[in-house]
Amino acid sequence: MVDKDFSNGAAWMAQEIMPVGKAAIPVTDWGLTHSDITYDVVHVWDGRFFRMDDYLQRFQRSLAKCRLSVDQSADDMRRILHQIVARSGLDRSYVSMVASRGQPSVPGSRDPRLCDNHFYAWCVPFVWVFLEEVVQRGAHLKVPETISRIATESVDPTAKNYHWGDFTQGLFEAKEAGFDNTLLLDHDGHVTEGPGFNVFMVKDGKVRTPRSGVLEGITRKVAMEICEHHGVPVTEQDISLADFLEADEVFATTTGGGPVPITRINERVFSNDAPGEVTRQFNQTYWAWHEDPAMSEKVNADY
Ligand code: PLP
């Protein structure tokens, strides 16, 4: 049953479903004090979860990488996600599943093994990582001069995380210079990713995306499948910024909007400052696939 109090979203926490605004974690939770948390985000479009298995599997891998252990199985999580979205009544939703380190059973302890890890989930209306008008004209990204992506040896980018210090600094620099968003390089000068998105380049009819130092985005995975579907060769490899700027066309991929055109990076303008043809085609295929029952499942309150 849809409840009006839940129209801004719903959350599941400690066995209870509540309006999203009521969900809170203690100030001493290590998820908050140490960003010691992992999460994943799946979306619902027109009443259907897209690629739920992919998101749940990635989340299970992140839990293992972060050495987090929660009571809920992947099946329990799937059921909880169905229930909160059904309860919210949202037809298009951003749905987050989270596992936090929690609090140590011995107050003040600094031993992560003593923490009581816990799972929670929440959903809100669909979030566009790029504003809709930016999707129409193409995004403008700035590569910051002095900030690079945190080293993979320090924070594993394949376990989705809240360590956004590098992205936040990059965002300030980009916004203050009039750009929409930021794109970070690693310490060797290879292109990595931006806050909430992976990137692809198209050059001479071939597609490339950074191989390492990035989250293995589900939309990135789908975009590679779309390449195969359209017979376009695609490879994952290290790409220097100079190589990336040689692209004919560039796009981002994100759960918050699918394949999104990028028309400017720093001073470089791509595809005549308009969304490129490959991106346009991929975007169409991506949204069309949302209706395919093999890739999506209907939100079900009784799951
Ligand atoms: N890279 C980072 C750092 C992200 O946080 C995200 C998603 O939020 C992505 C890439 C894109 O991944 P996905 O396509 O699974 O949304």
Cα(217) to centroid(ligand 1), Å: 5
In a domain? residue 295: no
DSSP readout, 276-287? -HHHHHHHHHHH
Q: Is the CB of 40 under 6 A from ligand 1?
A: no
In a domain? residue 301: no
Q: How are beta strands 234-237 and 93-100 bridged, if at all?
A: unpaired
User: Which of 127, 154, 172 is the last residue in one of the domains?
Assistant: 127
- Give me the mean pLDDT over the 209-218 stretch: 98
Cα(198) to centroid(ligand 1), Å: 6
Q: Is the CB of 257 under 6 A from ligand 1?
A: no
Q: How far apart are CA 160 and CA 63, in angstroms?
A: 9
Question: Based on the domain organization, do 141 and 282 belong to the same domain?
Answer: yes
Nearest CA to ligand 1 atom 6: 196
Q: Is the CB of 181 under 6 A from ligand 1?
A: no
**Token output for 294:** 């093999």
Question: Based on the domain organization, do 159 and 262 belong to the same domain?
Answer: yes
Q: Residue 96 burial (CB < 10 Å; 0-12/13-18/19+)?
A: buried
Question: Based on the domain organization, do 137 and 115 belong to the same domain?
Answer: no
Where residue 157 sits, what CATH number does that domain have?
A: 3.20.10.10
- CB 23, CB 96: distance < 8 Å: no
Q: What is the pLDDT of residues 121-178, one digit of tens each?
A: 999 999 999 999 999 999 999 999 999 999 999 999 999 999 999 999 999 999 999 9
- Give me the mean pLDDT over the 48-74 stretch: 98
pLDDT at 7: 87
Question: Angle formed by the axes of helices 277-289 and 218-229, to 10°?
Answer: 110
Local structure of 37: helix, strand or coil: strand
Q: Is the CB of 200 under 6 A from ligand 1?
A: no
Question: Based on the domain organization, do 67 and 31 belong to the same domain?
Answer: yes
Q: How far apart are CA 303 and CA 300, in angstroms?
A: 5
Where residue 76 sits, what CATH number does that domain have?
A: 3.30.470.10
Q: Is the CB of 217 under 6 A from ligand 1?
A: yes
In a domain? residue 302: no
Question: Based on the domain organization, do 281 and 138 belong to the same domain?
Answer: yes
- Closest ligand 1 atom, residue 58 Cα: 15
Radius of gyration of the chain (CA): 20
- CB 94, CB 127: distance < 8 Å: yes
Question: Based on the domain organization, do 243 and 168 belong to the same domain?
Answer: yes
Q: Is the CB of 218 under 6 A from ligand 1?
A: yes
Q: For residue 271, what are the domain limits? A: 132-289
Q: How far apart are CA 158 and CA 236, in angstroms?
A: 15
Q: What is the pLDDT of residues 27-52, one digit of tens each?
A: 999 999 999 999 999 999 999 999 99
Q: What is the pLDDT of residues 237-271, one digit of tens each?
A: 999 999 999 999 999 999 999 999 999 999 999 99
User: Which of 100, 127, 154 is the last residue in one of the domains?
Assistant: 127
Whether residue 1 is predicted with pLDDT greater than 70 in this model: the reply is: no
Question: Based on the domain organization, do 231 and 179 belong to the same domain?
Answer: yes
Question: Based on the domain organization, do 147 and 208 belong to the same domain?
Answer: yes
Residue 19 vs residues 22, 95, 291, 303: alpha-carbon distances, Å: 6, 14, 29, 20
Q: Is the CB of 96 under 6 A from ligand 1?
A: no
Sheet containing strand 10-13, strands side by side: 16-19, 10-13, 118-125, 93-100, 37-45, 48-50, 296-298
pLDDT at 3: 67
User: Which of 105, 127, 149 is the last residue in one of the domains?
Assistant: 127
Cα(252) to centroid(ligand 1), Å: 10
Per the structure, the count of domains in the chain is 2
The amino acid sitting at 301 is A
In a domain? residue 24: yes
Question: Based on the domain organization, do 177 and 87 belong to the same domain?
Answer: no
DSSP secondary structure code for residue 191 in this structure: B
Question: Based on the domain organization, do 45 and 76 belong to the same domain?
Answer: yes
